[in-house]
Amino acid sequence: MNWISNVVRPKLNSFLNRREVPENLWVKCPETGQMVFHKDLEANLHVIPGSGYHMRMEPTARLRMMFDGGTWYDIALPAVAADPLKFRDEKRYTDRLKDARTKTGAQDALKVGYGKLEGLAVTIAVQDFGFMGGSLGMAAGEAIVTGLETAAARGTPFIIFASSGGARMQEGILSLMQMPRTTCAVQELREARLPYIVVLTNPTTGGVTASYAMLGDVHLAEPGALIGFAGPRVIEQTIREKLPDGFQRSEFLRQHGMVDMVVHRHDMRATLARLCRLLTRAPAAEAAPTRHEAPVAEADAAAPAAPAAS
């Protein structure tokens, strides 16, 4: 027996040719510790099957879930100054932006789309917590204002899925200015007598809660979402009292009148479609279309997004 040929070489080959297994094939439930295969989680709209815990959804998946046929038009968003204050803490703001863009594949924390929801034209914006905590800066403010103006110009309801830690500190006062700007844009939509519906997802806090996230005609929330201005730990340290169980969670806010409905993600599409029809007095849809119908004469304001893969 040749020890080098029969033992050492096969072991070296097996070690060198070992296949790398991706680390994100399984997702752990933050509440129960249940492990879920990532394909099963995606098929269940990122809701843990056993516990019902709502994981975060990235904007493209959220828009695909909402629009008929999984297709829509991406609304072109204005460009803004990348680093107006030349901000630097542990690293430069430009480097943080570059890292976030590489990680998410997006230019900033908001994505806006236009399409059909059960046959009714709607404009939808989605905030991405994965992009610097969904923070509200100049780019996000411009995206919201553009989305609201687009909805007003086209006569559609405007739906926003809010998810943010608050204003973006790297932009200082310029980020805080987006709070009144978005408030004024909401008022313009209201003057056009068009619905503004806010869906609060986990988490929605800080300056976002203090502005456009609490100005909707109807406020929906996903189960278990953290919603508030300051976090519960900060409040406890300030008032030096123990907060009630479930404080600042969507179910608690529903009980105290700050949220109209707590809606499971599986029911979100049908609920929003029903609300949009009710608020616009549109006739009920006979059946949800199976394919996206391209709007007429929209090419100058929006670019078509690729259809979702089945």
pLDDT of residue 15: 59
How far is Cα 182 from Cα 148, in angstroms, rounded to an integer? 9
pLDDT of residue 280: 96
pLDDT of residue 4: 63
**Cβ contacts of residue 18 below 8 Å, gap of 6+?**
none
Let me know: does 99 contact 135? Beta carbons within 8 Å: no
Q: What would the mean pLDDT of 184-207 be, rounded to a whole number?
A: 97
**Has residue 13 got a pLDDT over 60?**
yes
Confidence label for 301 from pLDDT (cuts 50, 70 and 90): very low
What the chain holds in terms of domains, given with CATH numbers, is 1-55 (no CATH), 56-304 (3.90.226.10)
User: Using omega within 30 degrees of 0 as the cis cutoff, is the peptide bond preceding 203 cis?
Assistant: yes
- E-only strand ranges, 222-284: 261-262
**Has residue 11 got a pLDDT over 70?**
no
Confidence label for 18 from pLDDT (cuts 50, 70 and 90): low
How far is Cα 244 from Cα 263, in angstroms, rounded to an integer? 22
pLDDT of residue 23: 62
pLDDT of residue 294: 41
68-82 pLDDT, tens digit each: 999 999 999 999 998
DSSP strand pairing (302-304 vs 73-75) = antiparallel
User: Percent of the chain having pLDDT more than 70?
Assistant: 85
**Has residue 205 got a pLDDT over 90?**
yes
Buried b (16+ CB within 10 A) or exposed e, 220-236: bbbbbbbbbbebeeebe
Instruction: Say what the pTM is.
Output: 0.84
pLDDT of residue 208: 96
Mean pLDDT for all residues in the chain: 88
Q: What would the mean pLDDT of 200-220 be, rounded to a whole number?
A: 96
Confidence label for 297 from pLDDT (cuts 50, 70 and 90): very low
Q: What would the mean pLDDT of 286-309 be, rounded to a whole number?
A: 44
Q: What would the mean pLDDT of 90-109 be, rounded to a whole number?
A: 95
pLDDT of residue 302: 44
134-177 pLDDT, tens digit each: 999 999 999 999 999 999 999 999 999 999 999 999 999 999 99
**Has residue 52 got a pLDDT over 50?**
yes
**Cβ contacts of residue 135 below 8 Å, gap of 6+?**
109, 164, 165, 166, 167, 168, 169, 175
Q: What would the mean pLDDT of 232-239 be, rounded to a whole number?
A: 91
240-295 pLDDT, tens digit each: 999 999 999 999 999 999 999 999 999 999 999 999 999 999 987 765 444 444 44
**Has residue 17 got a pLDDT over 80?**
no
